[in-house]
Amino acid sequence: EYARLLAYNTPQNSPRIRLFLLFCAGLFTFSAFFFLWNYWKHRATRKYALLQLALFPLGMMLTYYMYVLATNIFIFYFAAPYQDLPFSIQNIAAYFPFLLLVLIMPFAWINLKIIREKSWPLFSQALLSLNNVTYWALMGWFVYWGLLGIF
């Protein structure tokens, strides 16, 4: 049991995971504002413009959750969804992995459609694809940490 605890990776004991979460936070923040700007600039002409609008709140929520994961060690050792006392925004953020779980397949499908149809510029396609790959990697970590543990 002790050996298993020592081998358990969290951002607090693994610099690589902490750097990955920092990368995710930067990516999600940049993507959120980039896609919001693109939405306002091209909303009347670009296909799937509402996806760009939806990526803004998702990016901001996930950025906050990356901060929570990097700074709150208790999340990794208590049952999911983690509840902070007294009630705080972290109680709501504990459900972000479930939101991502629901959205990951539709986003991947739309991402493939955008690439096939070439309906967005190459940089926007690449940024959306990088976000989707990052979502999948995060889902792997969420499963490892038991953040989807109510299933």
Cα–Cα distance for residue pair 51/45, rounded to 1 Å: 13
Residue 61 and residue 93 in contact, taking contact as beta carbons nearer than 8 Å: yes
Q: What is the dihedral of CA 54, 56, 62, 65, to 10 degrees?
A: -120
What's the N-to-C CA distance of the chain in angstroms?
A: 23
Helix locations, 81-121, DSSP H: 89-93, 96-117
pLDDT tens column, 85-99: 788 888 888 889 999
Q: What pTM was estimated for this model as a whole? A: 0.89
Cα–Cα distance for residue pair 48/45, rounded to 1 Å: 10
* Predicted local confidence at residue 75, as pLDDT: 87
DSSP 8-state class, residue 80: S
Over its length of 151 residues, how does the chain's per-residue pLDDT go in tens digits?
Answer: 778 777 888 998 899 999 999 999 999 999 999 999 999 998 878 889 999 999 999 999 999 999 999 998 888 887 777 887 788 888 888 889 999 999 999 999 999 999 999 999 999 999 999 999 999 999 999 999 988 876 5
**Cis amide bond preceding 97, omega within 30:** no
